[in-house]
Amino acid sequence: MKYDTIIVGGGISGLSALHYLKKLRPSMSVRLFEGADRVGGVIGTDVIDDYACEWGPNGILDKSGLTRELCEQIGAEGLLESANENAKKRFILRGGKLRPAPMSLGSFITSGVLSPLGKLRIFLEPFTSSATDGDESIYSFASRHLGKEVADYLIQPMVTGIYAGSAERLSVRACFPMLYELDKESGSIIRGALARRKRKKLEAKKSQSGENKPERKGSMRLLSLKRTGVQALIERLSETYSDCIQTGCLAKDVTAGVGGSGFTVQFENQESVDCDNLILAIPSYRAEQVLTNLSGKLATATGRIPYAPIAVVCLGYPAEAASRALDGFGFLIPPSEKRDILGAIWTSSIFPDRAPEGKVLLRVLLGGGANPEVMDKSDEALVTICRNELSSIMGVTEPPELVKLYRWTKAIPQYTIGHMDILAEIESEAAKFPGLHLAGNAYRGIGVSDCLGNSLGVVESLPN
């Protein structure tokens, strides 16, 4: 059978692409194929004794407004919930103590994370050197603009929390394009931000006068869905479009269609399907495998994007187990502290319905790009590491009443230095095959909100 459009991959990128196709291109025939026996990819939730343990994302930062809009379009707006005020309070471990991370200019001045000299260095940012030619690591960029102490104790932990990677290896241009652009425009983050703010005010005035169409705005709030978290979004999408989804179909190969037009997708079960448009919403390492016979050069380029491994350990305790109040989002640990975990999220403090009454749910992260060897340890060893670290950092000494561990050997794409060159090569090669589109978090943004935006862009580029 031949379809107008085939989607390969049933994670959030593939499911949202399916949604946008049904909404914006309703006349198209479309089918989504997923290799596993369920859709959702790394998004999932196990509810155990009323503890809700999430496999992957703990929430969605709704940067663009697409998350809320999507939930409204599929009738899930009633399930949406925002993280409470605790989410605004985050901690950094320095000198063995948890210190509030500065979240505003005023808190930078009072922060115990930075020394007086480290704070003073921030105010010298407008006088830093101008942008360098070529790509630059996040660590180098932060050191140049804000000083080494800020790079070590604020930027590196932030990068760990987002990418589970090393700021010394990741590209500022790929990971934080806005900062890169501000630097290119003004040679200073602060000067560039002030100039951009002024331009936006002028644009807002034009918009109010009807000269420009107002843009969709995100809330920048951390969102999730009640009780079972982000999985509820997957379930609703799956239910809404169940007649277009086929699981248990692992793509094996992609070749040009009959007569060189369109594509033929071969699956492990020997079935093959033809289409005019093909959306590959799978990890880049899987794209490498299925694209080899279509384009060796394209396959090689997608295979050059590395991934960081992550172990997630969910631990449930009585509320009184911690010797300190869990009045925040959680904490991150700079590599210079030489700890065995990356940090922890106090899940039930930001979404209280994730744990039973009188209990707390903690989510500890290990591994990442800087410490991948920890993934070689046994489950028992990883849990022991988590317990030892929580005892030292938070005073949690009693054994947990719930333990649930998840391993992801290839969890988060790493936008390393040169990532934009890889993207340019991928896009150049893909353009040689009209109708072929790559979606997912390996390319331009790793968050759920980024994936929604990328999938929407792909669908909007398709012919009517």
Q: What is the CATH number of the domain that holds 38?
A: 3.50.50.60
Closest CA to 422 of 308, 309, 300, 307: 300
Please give the Cα distance from 311 to 315 (Å, whole number). 13
403 in any annotated domain = yes
pLDDT value at residue 193: 87
Instruction: Say if residue 404 is in the same domain as residue 422.
Output: no
User: So what's the pLDDT on residue 197?
Assistant: 83
Q: Tell me the per-residue pLDDT of 353-396, one tens digit each, with 9 for 90 and over.
A: 999 999 999 999 999 988 899 999 999 999 999 999 999 999 99
Q: Are residues 8 and 137 in the same domain?
A: no
Domain assignment present for residue 213? The answer is no
The reply to whether 326 falls in a domain is yes
So what's the pLDDT on residue 194?
87
Report if residue 379 sits inside a domain: yes
Q: Is residue 420 situated within a structural domain?
A: yes
Q: Does residue 424 share a domain with residue 283?
A: yes
* Distance separating alpha carbons of residues 155 and 143, to the nearest angstrom: 9
User: Is residue 212 over pLDDT 80?
Assistant: no
pLDDT tens per residue, range 141-194: 999 999 999 999 999 999 999 999 999 999 999 999 999 999 988 888 988 888
- In this prediction, residue 21 carries a pLDDT of 98
User: Is residue 419 domain-resident?
Assistant: yes
Q: Is residue 94 a part of any domain in this protein? A: no
pLDDT tens-digit map of 408-450 = 999 999 999 999 999 999 999 999 999 999 999 999 999 999 9
Whether 214 has a pLDDT exceeding 60, the answer reads no
Structure tokens belonging to residue 329: 């989002």
| Closest-CA residue to 462 (of 36, 3, 2) | 3
Last residue of a domain, one of 177, 208, 239: 208
The answer on 342 and 293 residing in a single domain is: no
Residues 299 and 425 in one domain: yes
| Amino acid symbol at 328 | G
319 and 405 co-located in one domain: yes
The residue range of the domain holding 353 is 307-413
CATH code, domain carrying 399: 3.90.660.20
What is the pLDDT, as a whole number, of residue 353?
Answer: 93
**How much is the pTM?**
0.93
Four-CA torsion 204, 206, 209, 211, nearest 10 degrees = -130
339 and 381 belong to one structural domain: yes
Considering the domain architecture, whether residues 21 and 118 belong to the same structural domain is answered as no
CA dist list (Å): 242 to 68, 107, 246, 270: 21, 49, 8, 23
Query: Is 138 contained in some domain?
Result: yes
CATH number at residue 171: 1.10.3110.10
Number of domains in the chain: 3
Of the candidates 76, 402, 91, the one whose C-alpha atom is nearest the C-alpha of residue 224 is 76
- Same domain for 388 and 419: no
Query: What one-character-per-residue DSSP string does 44-101 give?
Result: -EEEETTEEEESS-S-EE-SSSHHHHHHHHTT-GGGEEE--GGGG-EEEEETTEEEEP
